[in-house]
Amino acid sequence: MSMIDAPSDGSAKNPSADQNQIMRELDAASLLGDARQIVIVHRGERYSLRITAKDKLILTK
């Protein structure tokens, strides 16, 4: 995992708060591993991140 301008304490800013936000960069393989699909829970809502047949990523609610 590589990070771009990440704070040393691991905190992250609210994305809508500031356009000059701190961003994290993750390789999709580090999230998916050997799976073609994972579920991400955000604020109690479930999202599906999957790799398509054409090797693209799609995030759906």
| pLDDT, tens digit (0-9, with 9 covering 90-100), for 2-53 | 444 445 555 555 555 566 788 899 999 999 999 999 999 999 999 999 999 9
Q: What is the pLDDT of residue 11?
A: 52
> Distances in Å between the alpha carbon of 45 and those of 40, 48, 58?
8, 10, 16
pTM of the model: 0.61
3-state secondary structure of 9: coil
Beta strands in the chain (DSSP E): 2-4, 23-25, 37-42, 45-51, 57-60
